[in-house]
C-alpha cells in the first residue's frame, strides 16, 4: 500500500486511487474484468492492485477465493 506523505500526494497514493475502482464497480465481477474497465485510469497494473488491496483491507470489497470473483460488502 502506498500512503500519502511529504513526497507522495494523496492523488498518487493507494487511497487516492480507490475511487476509480469504486465508481466503476457495479456488481460481482472478476478482477480481470474490473481491470479492463479501469485500466486507462491507472499508470500501471501495480497501482491497480494496490488500490484493490486497499479496498479489501478496509472491508469495502469481498473476495470469493473459490471463484475468483469480487463484490462490494
Residue linked to cell 479496498: 55
**Alpha-carbon distance 52 to 60, whole Å?**
10
pLDDT at residue number 35: 92
Q: Express each pLDDT in 10-48 by its tens digit.
A: 666 677 788 888 888 888 999 999 999 998 988 889 889
**Residue 6 — φ and ψ, nearest 5°?**
-65, -30
pLDDT of 1 above 70:
no
User: Over the stretch 41-72, which tens digit does the pLDDT of each residue have?
Assistant: 888 898 898 889 889 988 999 989 899 899 98
Answer whether residue 5 shows pLDDT above 70: no
Q: Where are the domains of the chain?
A: 10-72
**Does domain 10-72 match CATH 1.10.357?**
no
- In the chain, count of helices (H) and strands (E)? 3, 3
Amino acid at each position: 500500500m502506498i500512503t500519502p506523505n511529504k513526497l507522495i500526494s494523496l492523488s498518487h497514493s493507494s487511497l487516492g486511487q480507490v475511487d476509480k475502482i469504486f465508481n466503476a464497480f457495479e456488481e460481482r465481477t472478476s478482477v480481470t474484468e474490473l481491470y479492463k474497465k479501469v485500466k486507462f485510469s491507472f499508470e500501471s497494473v501495480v497501482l491497480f492492485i494496490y488500490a484493490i488491496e486497499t479496498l479489501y483491507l478496509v472491508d469495502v470489497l469481498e473476495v470469493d477465493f473459490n471463484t475468483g470473483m469480487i463484490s462490494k460488502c
